[in-house]
C-alpha cells in the first residue's frame, strides 16, 4: 500500500506519520508512506505512480487541499482521500471529490484506529505480513509468500512461493495465531496451508498447485472441505 501525507507543516506530517505507523503495525499492513509539503509536489508524484490512500490538509498556505483533490480526481478515481481539517466547513466540497473521511483536529489514536478499520475493508487484498526470527536475523514474510508451514524438531519450517524456506524456533500455536486470515487452514497440530496455493482437496490431502500433497487430520477432513469451498466461493465473488 502507498500512503501520502500532504501538509505544509513538517511537524504535522511527522506526527501523523508516527501515528499511521502504529496503526499499520496493529493491523500487520505493509505500506510505504511519502510526505509532501505541497499539493503540487503530491500531484507530480501521484501522476507517476498512484497512491492507495492520501491524507490532505485542507489549509496549506496559498493552496487548498480540496483543490488538490479535485486535480487528483482528473486522473485517479480510486485513491482514498482523507481530509485533515479543523472543521467540516468543506464537507460538501469533499463530497464532490469523493472524500472517504474527515479527520478533525485534534484527532485521537482511537479516531485513527476506527478510520483504519474502515480503510482495510475498502482496500483490495491488504498486504499483511508476519515478522519471524531466524538464525540470520529478523525476516518479514508477506502472507502471500507463504505456501505452507510445518512444525518438527522444535522448529517451524516455512515454505515460500519462490521455493525457499525460512526456519524459526517458536511455538506453533503462537505462530499460527498471527496468521489470522481466511487464506490459512490448520491441517493438523503441526501443519498449516495457504489456500491460495491449493489446487484441490481430495478428502484426505490438500493438493497444491506445485503438486505437493499436505495431509489433513481425519477429524478435520469435513471442516477442510467446507473451508476450501468457502475460500473458492469468496475468491470468485471478489472477481
Asked if 111 and 21 touch (Cβ cutoff 8 Å), the reply is: no
Mean pLDDT, 10 residues at a time, over the chain (239 residues)?
A: 93 94 89 94 91 90 85 87 76 61 86 89 71 89 92 95 93 92 93 95 95 96 94 65
Report pLDDT for 229. 92
CATH architecture of residue range(s) 2-122: 3-Layer(aba) Sandwich (3.40)
Report pLDDT for 55. 95
Instruction: Tell me the pLDDT tens digit for each residue of 87-114.
Output: 666 554 555 566 788 888 888 889 999 9
CATH 3.40.50.2300 residue ranges for the chain: 2-122
**Strands of the sheet with 205-208, listed across from one edge:** 198-201, 205-208, 213-215
Backbone angles phi, psi at 75, to 5 degrees: -135, -5
Report pLDDT for 7. 93
Instruction: Tell me the pLDDT tens digit for each residue of 36-51.
Output: 999 999 999 998 888 9
Backbone angles phi, psi at 11, to 5 degrees: -65, -35
Which CATH superfamily groups domain 129-238?
Answer: LytTr DNA-binding domain (2.40.50.1020)
CATH 2.40.50.1020 residue ranges for the chain: 129-238
Report pLDDT for 125. 57
Alpha carbon distance 72, 68 (integer Å): 6
Report pLDDT for 127. 62
Amino acid at each position: 500500500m502507498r500512503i501520502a501525507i500532504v501538509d505544509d507543516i513538517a511537524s504535522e506530517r511527522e506526527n501523523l506519520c508516527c501515528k499511521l505507523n502504529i496503526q499499520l503495525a496493529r493491523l500487520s499492513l505493509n505500506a510505504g508512506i511519502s510526505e509532501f509539503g505541497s499539493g503540487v509536489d503530491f500531484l507530480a508524484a501521484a501522476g507517476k505512480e498512484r497512491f492507495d490512500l492520501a491524507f490532505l490538509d485542507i489549509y496549506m498556505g496559498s493552496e487548498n487541499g480540496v483543490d488538490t483533490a479535485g486535480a487528483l480526481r482528473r486522473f485517479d478515481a480510486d485513491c482514498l482521500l482523507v481530509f485533515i481539517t479543523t472543521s467540516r466547513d468543506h464537507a460538501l466540497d469533499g463530497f464532490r471529490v469523493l472524500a472517504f473521511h474527515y479527520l478533525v483536529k485534534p484527532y485521537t489514536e482511537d479516531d485513527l484506529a476506527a478510520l483504519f478499520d474502515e480503510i482495510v475493508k475498502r482496500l483490495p487484498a491488504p498486504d499483511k505480513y508476519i515478522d519471524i526470527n531466524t538464525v540470520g536475523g529478523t525476516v518479514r514474510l508477506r502472507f502471500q509468500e507463504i505456501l505452507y508451514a510445518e512444525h518438527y524438531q522444535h522448529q517451524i519450517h516455512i515454505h515460500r512461493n519462490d521455493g525457499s524456506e525460512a526456519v524459526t524456533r517458536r511455538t506453533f500455536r503462537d505462530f499460527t495465531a498471527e496468521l489470522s486470515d481466511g487464506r490459512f487452514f490448520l491441517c493438523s497440530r503441526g501443519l498449516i496451508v495457504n489456500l491460495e496455493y491449493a489446487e484441490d482437496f481430495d478428502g484426505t490431502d490438500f493438493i497444491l498447485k506445485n503438486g505437493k500433497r499436505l495431509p489433513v487430520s481425519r477429524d478435520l477432513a469435513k471442516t477442510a472441505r467446507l473451508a476450501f469451498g468457502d475460500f473458492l466461493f469468496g475468491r470468485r465473488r471478489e472477481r
